[in-house]
Amino acid sequence: MVIEIWADVVCAWAFIGRRRLERALAGLDAGERAEVVWRPFRVDPMAPDPAVPLDDELRDPLVDDALRQCAPGLSTAGNRTRVSRIAAREGIGPRWGAAWRTSSHDAHRLLVLALDHGAPGVQDAVAQALLRAHFVEARDIGSPEVLADVARAAGFPEGAARLARGEGETRVRELLLSGKARGVTNSPAFVVAGRSLTGAQPPETLAEFLRATAPGEERSLPAEVRRFREAEALLDLGDPLGCLTLLTPLLAEQGTDRGVRTLAARAFFHSAQLAQAEAMLRPLVTQAPDDSYARLLLGRTLERRGRAEEAAAHLRLATAMTPSYGT
C-alpha cells in the first residue's frame, strides 16, 4: 500500500498527522507493507528566503491568513495554542514551537531527491527530521547548513550536494501543480489509490480510511495519462500556464499526438500566447479539415490577432459542421 502525504513541512498538523498515521498502521496487517511517500504542498508560498523570526511575522494579518491553510477556521495564534497541547499529547517535544518563518521550497526539493535517490524509507526519515528540526529544535529549515545536517542524520548524506547543484527544482514545481490538479487544498492530505482524507485525523479514522482500500485498487494510470489528465484539470481550473508546464514533457515525447497538441493549443490561447496557439492549430486543421473544434479555436485565435477576415472563414466552417458553435 502506497500512502501519499501531501503536506508542508512547516505545517504542524503534518507532524501530528504523521504520528497518528504511525499509530493507525500499527493496528493494521498492512502496516509492515505500507510505503509512505511525501508530496509537496505550500501553506505559505510567500515565506521569505532567508528566514525571519516567526513571532515578528505573526503580527502581519496577511501571514496569519496564509498559514490558516493548515488550520482552516483558526487564527494562527489560536492554532499555535491548540496544536501545542495536541503535540504534547502525541509525545512530540518536550519543547514545541517554530521559531522561523522560512521558505520550505528547498526542504521539498530535499524530499523529492531523497525519494528518487535514497534507500526505501529514507524520504520518510528526512521528512520527520525536517518537522522535528522546525517545530522541536526551532531551526531554520530554509538554511542550506540545516538541510545538510538533516539529510546526513536521516541517512541521505548526498542530499546537500544535490541541492547545491539545483536538482529537484522542476520536479517540485510539477508536483505542486499535480496536487492542485488533484484537488489538494490543505496540509496534510492523505491519498491512497486515488482516495483522499484531509487533515490530521485521529488514528481510528486513518485506520478506517486505510482499510477501505480494496485489494487491487491501487493500480495506477500510466504516467503519461495521469500527466495529461492533470494538465487538463489545471486548464479547467483556470491555470493555463500550469497546464503548459505539465504538458512540456509530453510535447517533447509525444509531439505528434493530436490530443496533446489540442490541449497545448487551448492553453496557449487562454494564456494569450496567440502565435504559439496558431502554430499548434494550423497543422491540426490541415491534417483533419473536419475537426470543427480545431477550426473554431483557430478562428478565435486569428480573431484575437486582428485578422478578422481570415478568422471568419474558419468560424463559418466550424459553425457549419457544429451548429452549436454559432450560438
178-204 pLDDT, tens digit per residue, is 999 999 999 999 999 889 999 999 999
Q: How far is CA 262 from CA 159, 182, 290, in A?
A: 39, 21, 14
List the end-to-end C-alpha distance of the chain, in Å, as a whole number.
50
Instruction: Specify burial of residue 264 (Cβ count, 10 A radius: 0-12, 13-18, 19+).
Output: buried
Spatial CA neighbour of 163 closest among 146, 140, 176: 146
CATH 3.30.420.40 is right for the domain spanning 223-326:
no
Q: Which fold has domain 2-211?
A: Glutaredoxin (3.40.30)
Q: What is the pLDDT of residue 70?
A: 66
Task: Give the mean pLDDT of the chain.
Answer: 91
**Which residues, other chains included, contact 201 with Cβ-Cβ below 8 Å and sequence gap of 6+?**
17, 20, 190, 209
| For helices 105-117 and 144-153, angle between their N-to-C axes, nearest 10 degrees | 30
Given the C-alpha cell 477556521, which residue does it identify?
Answer: 73
Spatial CA neighbour of 155 closest among 196, 189, 184, 126: 126
Instruction: Note the pLDDT tens digit of each residue in 223-276.
Output: 999 999 999 999 999 999 999 999 999 999 988 999 999 999 999 999 999 999
The size of the chain, in residues, is: 327
Enter the pTM of the model.
0.90
Alpha carbon distance 310, 307 (integer Å): 6
- Res. 62 pLDDT band, cuts 50 70 90: low
Residue 250 contacts residue 224 (beta carbons within 8 Å): yes
Alpha carbon distance 29, 294 (integer Å): 52
Looking at the predicted structure, is the pLDDT value of residue 2 above 60?
yes
Sign, Cα dihedral of 249, 252, 257, 258: positive
Q: What ranges do the domains of the chain cover? A: 2-211, 223-326
Residue 44 contacts residue 101 (beta carbons within 8 Å): yes
Spatial CA neighbour of 139 closest among 10, 296, 327: 10
